[in-house]
Amino acid sequence: MRVIAGSARGHKLVCLPGESIRPTLDRVREAVFSSLTPYLPESRILDLFGGTGAMGVEALSRGAAAAVFLDTDPRAARLIEDNLRRCGLWRPGEVRVERADALAWMEAYGGPAFDLIFADPPYQSGNYPAILEKVSRKELLSPEGSLVVESPKDLELPEASGNLYKAKEKTYGDVRIAYYRIKN
């Protein structure tokens, strides 16, 4: 697994051994970021289920200004920080890694909205409706922002939730990526 483009292009990202983390494949990240390029410069990123940090790292490498990474596993939180340092993207004050439950963190958050939110929860968690509901209700997404949700291809995500609507959806092998935007 590697960073695909930007200042950290080609840097390898480390993953924990075993199957506790399911990183987004390079080809899927490449497809996702090709559609997000206009939104990246100076954007604020939230990576809800960080794992390796691959999505947020890619965003920072391509010009995002700030990022928050969340993961409940202390090993994953350390891994994300290590990957950020390895790629030269660790910027205290602008980049944070928190060991936290994503749903509880979103419920408690009271800061500025994010331009891009990445949500790739454990597939078996069933957290998809709660993620959409909290992003909408807590106004975590900026008006022009995108919520990018990764799920198994056979899981049908809702067309809308609160003020969010599914703007587009793509399938890559066994993975489905849904892009949610705020209704105008």
Which residues are CB-neighbours of 128 under 8 A, at least 6 positions away? 119, 121, 149, 151, 155, 157
Using pLDDT thresholds of 50, 70 and 90, give the confidence band for residue 42: very high
Q: What pLDDT, on a 0 to 100 scale, did the predictor assign at position 178? A: 97
Q: Could you give the percent of the chain with pLDDT greater than 70?
A: 96
Q: What pLDDT, on a 0 to 100 scale, did the predictor assign at position 18? A: 61
Q: What pLDDT, on a 0 to 100 scale, did the predictor assign at position 21? A: 60
Q: Is the pLDDT of residue 19 over 60?
A: no
Model confidence over 128-182: pLDDT tens digits? 999 999 999 999 999 999 999 999 999 999 999 999 999 999 999 899 999 999 9
Q: What pLDDT, on a 0 to 100 scale, did the predictor assign at position 23? A: 63
Model confidence over 82-104: pLDDT tens digits? 999 999 999 988 999 999 999 99
More confident residue, 31 or 57: 57
**What's the topology of domain 26-182?**
Rossmann fold (3.40.50)
